[in-house]
Amino acid sequence: MRALITGAGGQLGVELLRTAKDFETVGLSHTDLDIGDSAAVDAAIEHHRPDVVINAAAYNAVDDAEKQSDLAFWVNGTGPGNLARAAQRIGARIIHISTDYVFDGKSNNTPYKPDDPTNPLNTYGKSKLAGEKEVARATANHLVIRTSWLFSSHGRNFLQIILTALKEGKTVRAVKDQSSVPTACRGLAEVIWLCAKRDGPRGIAHWVDRGRATRYDQAVAIREMAEHIGLIRGSAPIQAALASDFKPAAVRPRFSVMDASELSRQLGKPQRRWKDWLPQVLEEIYLK
């Protein structure tokens, strides 16, 4: 089977290309394909004729999206719809990656299930929800996978930002009043490939690692593991802060933990604790 991966230059796209086993892969970065351009999408899908399209492309600058809403909706809303319609025309499946930010965080600390009501608080979340709806409208042969707080050994993510600050001896301030689930790109990529098989699941699903954390919890765990493997020494302290202290342009949900138990059961793949991925990811950075 052939898989076409959009957003192939991003951290998830890189992991998808690294972990593909039973698929012939075609990776297209943003410079290769602007998914908001319907004519370009049609031409790319017709040229490569994939069996499955995996959309890992996204505009994910959450705060910037408040001022660049047109661009956010172009990439996160219009783009997935273009891909889904083009996939439908050639009989291909589409797997679209979405986010926990489609929820408003008012679940009384109960993890969100795939069929729970959505109510995004910011432009980024609204644009991602628009993409989900565009995909569902375009084809029944789709799977939307929502995930959260992705991290890997490459690209720009929270782990990389914290690690850089710690290496430079800077004091780190991390939010303590918002909770979600840090999720390793490597594990998500493995799940996506399981779902990409011809008899894979359809509809909306959640995949996150096991556990939950605040950004403060995550930063402390990163520091402890990085010190343990010798990646940093004598790092500066990590201070707990409130989200409001940073005066962000975009409001984040207070609690956006998602329940991935159903997809885990369908695939027969247990969720791995997010902390258990840290040694592997940090070792990869150490060896670079």
Active site residues: 124
Q: Which residues contact 207 (CB under 8 A, 6 or more apart)?
A: 145, 146, 147, 183, 188, 191, 260, 263
Q: State how far the Cα of 276 lies from the Cα of 18, in Å rounded to an integer.
A: 20
183 with 246: CB under 8 angstroms?
A: no
Both structure tokens of 177: 């009043």
CA triplet 148, 149, 155: central angle to 5 degrees?
125
* CA gap 237, 174 in Å, rounded: 11
Element holding 53 (H helix, E strand): strand 52-55
Calpha distance 70→12 (Å, rounded)? 24
CA atoms within 13 A on the CB side of 211: 16
Angle (CA) 105-99-2 rounded to 5° is 160
Nearest to 120 by CA among 164, 80, 77: 77
Q: Would you state the structure tokens that stand for residue 20, as one six-digit string?
A: 């593909």
Side chain identity, residue 181 = V
Report the run of H or E that residue 27 belongs to, with start and end.
strand 24-28
Q: 38-48 and 79-90 are packed helices; what angle lies between their axes, rounded to 10 degrees?
A: 40
